[in-house]
Amino acid sequence: MSVRTNLAPRGKRGGNNVLVYLVSLIVVAITVGPVLYGAMGGFRTNAQLAEKPTGLPDPWVTSNYSGVLSGGSFWTYAVNSTVIAVITTLVAVVFGVMAAYPLARYKFKGREALFMVFVLGLLFPAAVAVIPLFILVTRDLGMGNTWWGVALPQAAFALPLTVVILRPFLMALPRELEEAALIDGASRIGVFWRIMLPLSMPGVITVAVLAFVTSWNAYILPLLLLQDDMRTLPLGVADFSTEHSADTAGVLAFTTIAMIPALVLFLALQRRIVSGLQGAVKG
């Protein structure tokens, strides 16, 4: 380490730092600009928006935001989004870590073929299945317009990625602990529950976050399956935008509040999300 710090940092040569900061600034302005505009727009009246859409609001108007927060629909959507995302995550993670365990730790005929089933599952676009899924859930299972009716299919579609990320993770855990427990007479299920599961927590959290965010942002399946008071936030935002198309400031306020939970979750668990995505790419 000490040798390294004495050498020039990577890529410093020939790099013009002013240029780097300038480019970074432009990139950030483009990526964050629209989001900030939305947040600022929520603090304006529609007249202000039409007159002078840039710069800071003058004066700051809070009625759009307070209107959204005191109206019931936002909270209804938020509760639906949360419950559905929690069920999706729990089912995907519990079933996923269970399936990944024998794939990582048992030797048996057909193991790689079984793993391929999950890898192939990654390739199935949800859009292909959506119409029959709609019929299956509403007519055959009678779960149309319910939390479970959306969460279970979402969990099923989240399973391939969960297993594909967790398997190498479980494979990398040291064998000795497992063996020691088996010698002490523990059952495989006991070993899984008391040793493997606690040890694989970092990986489990990664896949949990990915499943949660995917469910939270999902649109196509809820669009077909949920109506009225069962709608989730993305549906609420899209519908609010079409129903109140004249009230731009209101739409911007609603949209901004709706994106806060995902952003907060992302900032809190940034490292997990990033490492999960990297794992998905490298695996």
Query: In the window 35-54, what residues touch other proteins (CB under 8 A)?
Result: 35, 37-38, 41, 49-50, 53-54
> How many amino acids of this chain bind other proteins (CB under 8 A)?
105
Question: Which conformational region is residue 71 in: left (phi greater than 0), alpha (psi within -120 to 50 degrees), or beta?
Answer: beta
- Asked whether 213 and 273 are in contact (CB, 8 A), the reply is yes
Within 84-113, which residues bind other proteins (CB under 8 A)?
Answer: 91, 94-96, 98-99, 101-103, 106, 108
Residue closer to other proteins, measured from CB, 69 or 120 = 120
- Contact status: 183 vs other proteins (CB under 8 A): yes
- Asked whether 72 and 132 are in contact (CB, 8 A), the reply is no
Q: How far is the CB of 17 from other proteins (least distance, A)?
A: 7
- Asked whether 181 and 195 are in contact (CB, 8 A), the reply is yes
Q: How far is the CB of 12 from other proteins (least distance, A)?
A: 7
User: Which own/partner contact pairs does 31-38 have at CB distance under 8 Å and 24+ positions apart?
Assistant: 35/259, 38/252, 38/255, 38/256
Residue closer to other proteins, measured from CB, 76 or 177 = 177
Task: Provide the strand spans (E) within 73-159.
Answer: none
Q: How far is the CB of 174 from other proteins (least distance, A)?
A: 9
Within 213-272, which residues bind other proteins (CB under 8 A)?
Answer: 213, 216-220, 223-224, 233-235, 237-238, 241, 248, 251-252, 255, 258-259, 262-263, 266-267, 270
Q: How far is the CB of 100 from other proteins (least distance, A)?
A: 9
- Asked whether 218 and 124 are in contact (CB, 8 A), the reply is no
Residue closer to other proteins, measured from CB, 71 or 190 = 190
Nearest to 234 by CA among 244, 246, 247, 222: 222
